[in-house]
Amino acid sequence: MLRALFISLSKAAWAQGWITRWGLAWRVASRFIAGDTIAQALAAVRQLNQQGLLATLDPLGENTQTREDAAQATLVILNLLDEIERQDLRANVSIKLSQLGGVIDPQLGYDNLCRVLQRAGERRNFICVDMEDSSLTEVTLDVVGRCRQQGMNNVGTVIQSYLYRSEDDTRRLIEQGVAVRLVKGAYQEPAHLAYPKKRDVDAAFDRLTDMLLRGAQAAADWQVSEDGRFPPLPAIATHDEQRILYALNQTRDLYLHAHQVEFQLLYGIRRDLQASLAKQGYPVRIYVPFGSHWYPYFMRRLAERPANAWFFIRYLLQR
Ligand code: FDA
């Protein structure tokens, strides 16, 4: 209920205008967002690196409505890649196809993604294309697959365990040698497309973890030697300790090395877990969003956890 409400608010322009006007909204949001400038985000990444954590920077933005805005979003990402290299940070970049104009025209999204991947290649960096709602699943997989076929091996994408189609999609990405980040899924999807019950989403997450780790085991020999820096490392992205425990056990049972799987968590969430996984020797990458378009991201974080949502509502009502 609360989840559906916050996800629909994340798309409502009237609510965005209303909520972002309050300074207190930003105060709550800033727990999850590293700042509104590149400089603030890079400073946050430096701190994470000093703690032995990797980062993936998300220059916030989605659903770009004009070609000019898509070109501008692309420029921001190119600049970010330059800065990461200049400051010698251990970070890659996460973007959304709709940010690059993929909703206006999939070809535009593809062209802009190619520009980003080319610059990332020059900087020896990697781009993960986040997964958005189900209206964009096929086009995102398609565009990423085309890039991979064109020989761009520094691109990965995301699989959402709540979608029924995800086993087939995971198989397809493993075959293509595309790096996959596995998440549960952050959008509101109808029951004919996605498991409505959390326990089914969790069970699917474990099955997909298993597929990805077996894929990494099979790929490890040739991919590491052929590509050097970009083996299709599966990333298990969750704060759910049971899911992480399952992945850790499978990693050991399949005799994978700690560096053949990555754990990913969101900035500002479960810092204790981030530190503990890193201490066990696993690569841990923190998803670091930044920028002025923080509203939809923030609403999705509230939607994920009733405690966050109630905290925010209480705060608003007290004003
Ligand atoms: P679950 O929701 O079961 O939470 C497990 C525990 O984690 C909770 O009990 C709580 O302790 C903690 N927790 C979870 N969310 C919290 C929050 N907001 N605030 C405080 N505590 C919280 N989704 C998507 O659709 N497309 C994408 O591209 C991505 N990308 C992505 C990258 C990374 C690195 C992560 C970690 C997640 C994503 N997601 C995503 C979001 C993902 O789909 C999912 O919505 C969140 O990770 C929350 O689900 P959990 O797996 O943590 O499990």
62-111 residue pLDDT tens: 999 999 999 999 999 999 999 999 999 999 999 999 999 999 999 999 99
Mean pLDDT of 13-18: 82
Residues known to be catalytic: 130, 181
Dihedral of the alpha carbons of 163, 167, 252, 277, in degrees to the nearest 10: -30
Cα(296)–Cα(7) distance, rounded to whole angstroms? 8
The best mutation among 169, 197, 240, 243 to test binding of ligand 1, ranked by most ligand atoms within 8 Å of the C-beta, falls on 240
Distance 213 CA to ligand 1 centre (A): 20
How is residue 96 annotated by DSSP?
-
Do the beta carbons of residue 193 and residue 160 sit within 8 Å?
A: no
Please give the average per-residue pLDDT across 265-281, as a whole number: 96
Tell which atom from ligand 1 comes closest to the C-alpha of 94: 28
Average pLDDT over residues 224-228: 41
